[in-house]
Each structure stands twice: as C-alpha cells, then as structure tokens.
Structure 1
Amino acid sequence: MRILLQFAGLVVLARLLSPHDYGLLAIVVVFIGVGEIFRDFGLSSAAVRAPELTSEQGTNLFWINTGIGIVLGGALFAVATPLAAVYGQGEVRPIAQAMAIIFVLNGLATQFRAHLMRGLRFRWLATVDVLAAALALGVAIGGALLGLQYWALVAQQITQALVILLGAVIGARWRPGKPRRDVSVRSFLRFGANLVLSQVVNYGTNNVDTALVGYAYGAAPLGLYNRAYQLVVTPLSQIQSPVTSVAIPILSKIQDDQRRFSAYLVRGQLALGYPISLGLVTIAIAADPVVELMLGQKWLAAVPLLQLFALAGIA
C-alpha cells in the first residue's frame, strides 16, 4: 500500500509541480538525510537488538535522541542562509528553516518506534507509515493545486514526520520519564557510534552526487536527476525498510546461532535479489514509456538518467 502511495505521489505531483520545485527540496533533503543519521545515532537499532531494555534505559535513550534532534534542528536553521548562498538559490533558506522541525519530530519518535519494533508490532508500524504517507500526500496535492509550488513538498515532509510521531506515541504504550544519571546506556552508545560510521559512509556514497549536481547545475536539472533516482529508489526503499524492520529483531534473537543466522540471511538476500533485478532490467529497457507514464512529457529529459539508475540499482 505504501509503495502505491509513493508512486501515486510521483505521478500526480510530477504533473502539478516543476523540476525546479523538486530540485529546491532535494538540496535541503540531502543535508537532512545525513543529519538524520546523527540524530538517530544508531540508538534505534541498538535498542531493538538489545537482549534486555529497561524502561529507564529507554528513557535515557529517548532524551538523547530528542536532544540531538533539537541541536540538529537549530543547526540547520542557523546555516540556512549560507546554504542558500552556496547554491545560489534564495528559496533554499526558508525551506531549510521550515524543515528544521523534522529533526525534532523524528528525535521524539525514535524510541517509541524502537519499542514497537521490540514488541514485534509490525502491523501497527505499517499502518502508521501508510497513514502518514497518505495524509502527507493529500496535503502535498492540496498545496500544489493551490499554487504553493515547492511549499507543497515542504508541507508533505513535515506532515509525514508529525503523523509518524503521533502514531508511534499512541501505539507504543510506553512513556519516558525523567533522565537518570545512574542508569548507564554506554553499551548502546558504543554500538550506535559504530553503526553511525558505516551509515555515514553509505549515505555519502549514495548522496554526494545530489549535492554536487545541485551545486554545479542548479535546481531544475537536479529536479530531473532526483525524480529519475526516486523512480528506482522508491520501490527499493519501500521493500528494504519493512524487511529491515522485521529482520533486525528476528536476527537479534538468533545472533548466537551463527549457522542459523547465516542461512536466514542468505535465503532472504536471494529471495529479494532475483525479482528486484528482473524488475530493474525491465525499467531500463522501457525507460521512455515509464517516464512518460509516471512523470509526464515535461520530464522526458530524465530518461537516460533513469536507465543508468536502474542498472546501478541491480548492484
């Protein structure tokens, strides 16, 4: 369902908004993405995989994630003006300042979602994610029809983060208390620090191109680049995210049984790899009609980009 919503958003909003609008948002989103890695600091995964997690430990982790979110939100707000100057796009400043709130919302939501995953409440998580995507898409379409241009996309991002927070708080059945200095979370921080390092490297290799394209060519070419990329990445990420949410708590429970752990991992990779690769080859071959169908004729310049992304996606 969420994949359908993502594609619906691609199809409808691409016809209502311009490459320039998407390019402006992409400039800010690439920096929010790397900030989100530090905002989470690997603590959601650390909480999910921990054999035991006391309420006091969860509380301390909650306040750490929230504090990091507030700091990062303030930092993005502060650097919005120089960021706009670097890219030569004045609209970037108000976009970045508005979207700084996303760090705070996601920081508040992190440990609530971790508690839901530890409880294997995947149906609730999926329901909240679908509801958030649907409401956010409705807000974006409404804003685009009203002529709000890139602000429709900004509103979409903020709405989605807010609904996810509310859904996680309602579903978690857990409330953090006051932080406790006598409760140690050092093991969680050590695990998170190692995870952050690998995530930053991975994110950098996957997103430095977006930052460079926006800097070198401007917002409109970046919009074409971004939409072609999203046509490939959207289905991949929508498959990867729920699979990861299911796999991590299950793998954490069998991590001491190396043979079973490896067998589970290999079977999962093979089961996903073959059908995904076949789908991406099909997209590369039929890139022209795919772009025209999904985005419309004004996006046909994105066809060669889509073909390259599809072939790279197989890897």
Structure 2
Amino acid sequence: MTGTAASVGKNARWLAGAQAAKIVIQLVGLGILSRLLGPSDFGVMALAIVVTSLAGLLRDMGTGPAIIRARELSATMVNSIFWVNMAMATAVALLVVVLAVPIASLFDTAPLAHLLYALSLTFPVISFGAAHQALLERESRFHITTRADVLSYTGGLCAAIVAARFGMGAKSLVLQAIVQATLSSLQMFMASPWRPSLSWDASEIRRIFSFSSNLTLSNLVLYLIRNTDSMIVGKTLGAVALGPYSLAFRIMLSPLQNVSLIASKALYPVLSTHQADPERLGATWLESTSFVALITATLMGGLIALCEPFVTVALGQRWGEVARLLPWLAPVGFVQSVLSTAPVIFMVKGRTDVLLKLNIGMAGLHIACWLIGARWGVSGVAAGYLVATIVSAPLYLVTTARLAGLPVARLLRALGIQSGLGISVFTVTFAARSALEPFALPPLALLLVAGLCGGLYGVWHVGRFSPDHMFALRRTFHLAS
C-alpha cells in the first residue's frame, strides 16, 4: 500500500466511524423529536437555519483550508487568522440580530425573530475553535476531531430532546445548535496545544487572501444553492409545508453528505502534501469518489424502493409527505455526494477562482428550476432540484477531472458502474418488497426483510462486477494503520 493510500485510509477510518455514529444518533434523535414536535416547529427552525447556516461558512472565512494547505505556517499567521475569524463572526452575529425582525416579517413568521436572536450566539462560538480544528486536521489528528464532533453532536441532541419533552417547541432545536457549537469549540481548544496571542500581521492575511476569499465566496454561493429552495418553499407554501421538505433533506441528504465528508476531509490534508504530483492526485481522488458513489448509490437505491415503510418506522404515520418527496431527492443526494468531493481538487491546486465560477453557474440554474417547480407545490420544487442537478453535474465533473489530470472517460466509466449498482439494488429491493406485500407484514418487518435482500444483493454485485472496489473498501477501513 502506498503512503498516500495508507494516510487517507487512516483518516477515513476515524471519519467513517464518527459519521456512522452521527447518522445513527441523528436518525434516533429525529425519530424522537418528530414525535415531540410538530411540522410547524421543524418548519420555523428550517427557516432559521437558512440564515444561521452561514455560521458554518464564516467560522473560518476560508482560512481553515488555507492553514491546512500552507507549506510554511508561522505562529503569527495563525494568530492573525484567529482574530480575523472572531471579528468577522461577531460582526455577522450582530448583523443577524439587527435583521432578525425584518427577516421574520419577510417570511411572515413572527417566532422566527426570537430564534435568530438566540442562534446568533453560535457564530462567535464556532469561530473560537476553528483555527484549533484546522491545526489538528493539518496534522491528520482526526481521532481527536472526530471524537469531539460525535460528543458535541450527541450533547446537543440530548439537550434538544429534554427541552422538547418539557414543551419548549422550536426553541429546543435552537438549544441543540447552541450546545453543539459550545461543546465542539471547547473540545477543539483543549485538544490543540496552540493558544492565541495578541500578535497580528496584515501581510500574513494578504498572503492567503486570494485563495480564502474565492473559497469563501464559493461557499456562500453553495449556501445559496442549498438554502434558496427552503426560502422558496417557506415563502410561497408556508412553514407547515416546509416541515416535511426539511425533514426529507435531514433524513436523506445529511447522511449522504456525511459520507462524502469522510472522503473530502480525509483527502485534503494528505493531498495537500502532494500538490505537484497530478498523477497521484487524480488517482487518489478517483478512488475516493468511486468509494463514495459505491456507498451512496446502494443507500439511495434501497431508500427509493422502501421510502414509505422507512418513513413510517422512522417518523410515524403523519409524515407521509416525506415519503412522496424522497424519490425525487434520493438521486439528488447521490449526485451531490459525488460532487462534494470535487472541491478538494480545486483547493489543492489553488484554483478556487474556477470553483467560484462553476458554483455561480450552478446557482442560477438551480434557482430557475426551483421557481418553476414551485408552481406544482413541494414536489415540484423537489423535481426542479433533480433536473438542475442532472443538468449541471457533467460540467462540474469534467472540469474537476481535467484539473486533476484524470481522463474524463475513466471518471465517467467509474461513475457509470456505480449508477448501475444503485439501479440494480433498487430493482431487487423493490421486487422483494412487492413479493412481501401480500403477507401484510408490519412496516418494520417489511423494511428489514426487503432491505436485507437489497443489501445482500449489493454486496454480491460489488464483489462480482467491481472486485477492485471491494478490495479498496476493505483496505480503507480494515488494513489502514
């Protein structure tokens, strides 16, 4: 095994364990919260997240990846980055407070303002630990960052469940975000030996300005893409309609994004040390992207076939609208999980300017499709999402492949194989479900038996038609050391 593959595998092992734990915890937590809270609570919180998810983008203003990528890193640079992050996060928090009431009026949802007041606290709290986390990831100390991630996520979810049990409604979801952000930053600060001082040098910021500014703007455009659909649904169809739509994303897209996060986070610090080796860059990125596609194609094929019993078991009978949205959004999740590994190549090669241009084009296409789809309700918005994703994905992938020095035909062939796997898993799982329906099994039994059939077929399919991917999977999670 090459040193690069071993390093990526070691990082991926820690990240995979953490993300798997978070997926399980999230599904269990959502199952509990969906029975304690109503659609309007989730809908109002989804509107708040449209605003406050900026915290995730502005936590380091694109400086975290710059810390990881830098060949030479001085203490003065890290200090300068830390104070820029804190200043910007505080300014954004104050801006959210000032605009809370106008934003609530825009969506005709008065309780939204109070949620935004509280959630603004998460901006400086998250930024406080951003530089520490970047330093840990630069050294590939993912055993520390992943542990902190799981513990903070679990703590936030437990706080939300307790608060919801005592009737706090949507405020319980706010408490979850605050507790999670606080626990995460505290753990990063304690784990990293670096401590901020008052030293400052503007020239250090100028050194990374082009890279970081383009990356930040690119992330802001992605934020627009990922949240404008919720804004359209909330504005045109109301918070109650937004509840099922947001839950469909949290159940389906969040786990898939977690899978892709494993690959991109594991790759970035390792490939940053091989910036001048395009052959290694391309081959390693393709292997990781194929692995992501392998997992997500299997999951989405099974989910589409079993969307009704899955939603009934996970959320309850009253969330039937979620099941009607999943067949549209599941293919979106598959494509997005593959695309989400691509920015690593743009960052490693220092071409965040190209990434920004691509994301701007994608944003325009997605917004147009959502506005057209909104005429047919929530399902129309979901269908518009699928159309925009399918149309924009080829250009994104081709540009990434060329930048990585990878033959486009090789990339398309690999993704075509994984798409065929997803279709095959769907066919087998749906056939098993159809064969079992005359027996009138409970939803849980139907889900388990048909899902097991699809899962076993998926394992056989990979071993039979893609033995190299099966070997890569075993090597990544079992042989890496």
Q: Fold match, TM over 0.5?
A: yes
Contact 1:12 1:141 in 2 (8 A): yes
Deviations 1:281-305 (A, max 9, x none): 2111111011111111111122111
Query: Percent of pairs identical after alignment?
Result: 28
Name the CA distance, whole Å, in 2 between partners of 1:64 and 1:97. 23
Aligned to 1:314: 334
Q: Which structure 2 residues correspond to residues 207-286 of structure 1 after superposition, within 5 A?
A: 207-286=227-306
The letter for the 2-side match of 1:97 is Y
Are positions 1:62 and 2:82 aligned together? yes
The letter for the 1-side match of 2:281 is F
Deviations 1:82-101 (A, max 9, x none): 11111111100100010001
Name the CA distance, whole Å, in 2 between partners of 1:34 and 1:136. 19
The letter for the 1-side match of 2:231 is A
Cα RMSD between the aligned structures?
1.3
Name the CA distance, whole Å, in 2 between partners of 1:285 and 1:21. 29
| Cα displacement (A) at 1:46 | 0.8
- Tell me how many residue pairs correspond in the alignment: 315
The letter for the 2-side match of 1:283 is L
Q: Secondary structure at the match of 1:267?
A: helix
| Cα displacement (A) at 1:159 | 0.4
Q: Secondary structure at the match of 1:52?
A: coil
> CA 1:87–1:44 in structure 2 vs 1: closer, same or farther (change >3 Å)?
same
1:292 equivalent among 295, 298, 312: 312
Deviations 1:228-253 (A, max 9, x none): 11111121122223332221101101
| Cα displacement (A) at 1:71 | 0.4
Are positions 1:83 and 2:83 aligned together? no
Q: Which structure 2 residues correspond to residues 1-315 of structure 1 after superposition, within 5 A?
A: 1-34=21-54, 36-181=56-201, 184-315=204-335
Contact 2:55 2:126 in 1 (8 A): no
Name the CA distance, whole Å, in 2 between partners of 1:34 and 1:73. 10
| Cα displacement (A) at 1:54 | 1.0
Name the CA distance, whole Å, in 1 between partners of 2:289 and 2:97. 40
Q: Secondary structure at the match of 2:110?
A: coil
| Cα displacement (A) at 1:224 | 0.7
Contact 2:44 2:239 in 1 (8 A): yes
Name the CA distance, whole Å, in 1 between partners of 2:150 and 2:39. 26
Contact 1:56 1:183 in 2 (8 A): no
Contact 1:63 1:179 in 2 (8 A): no
| Cα displacement (A) at 1:183 | 5.1
5+ residue gaps, structure 1 = none
Q: Secondary structure at the match of 2:177?
A: helix
Contact 1:28 1:95 in 2 (8 A): yes
| Cα displacement (A) at 1:39 | 4.3
Contact 2:55 2:122 in 1 (8 A): no
Q: Secondary structure at the match of 1:175?
A: coil
Deviations 1:64-114 (A, max 9, x none): 111110000000011000111111111001000100011111111110111
Name the CA distance, whole Å, in 1 between partners of 2:181 and 2:217. 24
Stretch moving more, 39-48 or 56-65: 39-48
Name the CA distance, whole Å, in 2 between partners of 1:56 and 1:184. 8
Which structure has the higher relative contact order (CA within 8 Å, separation 6+)? 1
Name the CA distance, whole Å, in 2 between partners of 1:228 and 1:254. 39
Deviations 1:266-290 (A, max 9, x none): 1111111122112102111111011
Name the CA distance, whole Å, in 2 between partners of 1:135 and 1:67. 27
Contact 2:256 2:334 in 1 (8 A): no
Stretch moving more, 150-159 or 24-33: 24-33
The letter for the 2-side match of 1:69 is A
| Cα displacement (A) at 1:186 | 1.3
Name the CA distance, whole Å, in 2 between partners of 1:55 and 1:181. 10
Q: Secondary structure at the match of 1:80?
A: helix
The letter for the 2-side match of 1:2 is K
The letter for the 2-side match of 1:78 is V
| Cα displacement (A) at 1:223 | 0.8
The letter for the 2-side match of 1:304 is R
Name the CA distance, whole Å, in 2 between partners of 1:36 and 1:130. 17
The letter for the 2-side match of 1:45 is P
Name the CA distance, whole Å, in 2 between partners of 1:229 and 1:62. 33
Contact 1:39 1:72 in 2 (8 A): no
The letter for the 2-side match of 1:66 is M
Contact 2:155 2:179 in 1 (8 A): yes
The letter for the 2-side match of 1:260 is R
Deviations 1:129-163 (A, max 9, x none): 01001111110110011011111100000000000
> CA 1:104–1:182 in structure 2 vs 1: closer, same or farther (change >3 Å)?
closer
Give TM-score scaled by structure 2 length.
Answer: 0.64
